[in-house]
Structure 1
């Protein structure tokens, strides 16, 4: 199977193309030679079969051959709104959520957050996570790159949601909830809110419910902050198969 690379410029028609620096570096690292087949995608949903034409010290030129549809997205759009866990565990959430088909990821800061990001540090982290998502798309075969939104406080994010649109369901992951995930049916859009290591405060859960979130229970075991959102996404992904 040809190596896959994300290109951050639109791919419109067959012809020669000079790869952007980030993509060119990956081709060079793999030491691909002229004539080697590769697959390129620009994040819009399709992918292109291509061939390496020339390898230079700072430039890689390829020939775009044929556009192909790549229908590997979930049947529903799932957004994970995640209160960021401590250390580097957000990297794992972004990587695995991308593999499982998330459409977007919203990093949040809540009352009990251990990891608190703001300003330039938050911007750098979001750019890093967007790169993690791109790499996960290259590996997993996805041709639509999920958007990593700017870090927000939970309160500000909730206040900006507005009325729940038709066709969207909103789930709040809570170990105390009586509503089991397994009882839910399919919907066009699902917005999943998952709390930090110490859970959301009672006031935060009330604020989420006021915005149309339904509290959902994932079972008798308490899952870690970086496990719970991925468990839900995995269940949704498997539910949409077939």
Structure 2
């Protein structure tokens, strides 16, 4: 059954007109017709079965059924600090992070980061990444869409992540492994750029309470590292091992 995200409030027994993005996807892209069924979610953690009552290219109305519990959210919260990268690498990192159960994604600018975003360009990219997060949530069955935060510097990120009870920075030149760490409830995970974090950045992160960890003897690309790290974290402390 098709799963569609909508920003509209959803309530059992009510007729709801889908917002512009959802209506366009259902009516113009999928070309669904009245009488067909789909599942909606709006980020409140539940799925809403719905039946299309009216369908056009710009306007779609549905009748909402009884909400269903959605059990796809991990008990482990992960806030990902991901250094900006060029091309579709950042898109890939956002998409796969959502699939792996990330709670929030914070784009970072670091010393070796070669992507500069300001003003309208930053706003456009944030909207683009949020759209990718929505599509990934639709595909993987999640009923909550992770938030994409505004771009932060390293100093801002270190301050922002203090709410987490475990803060990790990936660093291939350390002997610390994930298996030796006690089970956390909320992780902050810091990923560097292609050129890596500088020694000063790693030292500053350590000074602020970040623990350097390695995922093995190989150096991972910036878009691969968060997928590998979150897979291991979810296996050790989240819901993959279950």
Shorter-chain TM band: over 0.9
Question: Is the Cα–Cα contact under 8 Å of residues 110 and 153 in structure 1 kept in the other structure?
Answer: yes
- Shift of the 175–57 alpha-carbon distance from structure 1 to 2, 3 Å rule, reads closer
Structure-to-structure mapping, 1:30-179, within 5 angstroms: 30-158=30-158, 160-161=159-160, 164-165=162-163, 168-179=165-176
Please provide the CA RMSD for this pair.
Answer: 1.4
Aligned length: 238
Question: Is the Cα–Cα contact under 8 Å of residues 78 and 102 in structure 1 kept in the other structure?
Answer: yes
The Cα shift of 1:12 comes to 3.3
The Cα shift of 1:86 comes to 2.2
Work out whether 1:6 is the aligned partner of 2:5: yes
> What does residue 216 of structure 1 align with?
213
Give the alignment partner of residue 203 of structure 2, picking from 178, 185, 206: 206
Question: Is the Cα–Cα contact under 8 Å of residues 83 and 109 in structure 2 kept in the other structure?
Answer: yes
Question: Partners in 1 of 2:180 and 2:78 — Cα distance?
Answer: 18
> What does residue 24 of structure 1 align with?
23
Range with bigger deviation, 52-61 or 30-39 = 52-61
TM-score by length of 1: 0.94
Question: Partners in 1 of 2:182 and 2:51 — Cα distance?
Answer: 44
TM-score by length of 2: 0.94
- Shift of the 37–121 alpha-carbon distance from structure 1 to 2, 3 Å rule, reads same
Which sections of structure 1, spanning at least 5 residues, go unmatched? none
- Runs of 4+ in structure 1 deviating by more than 4 angstroms, as ranges, are none
Question: Is the Cα–Cα contact under 8 Å of residues 118 and 151 in structure 1 kept in the other structure?
Answer: no
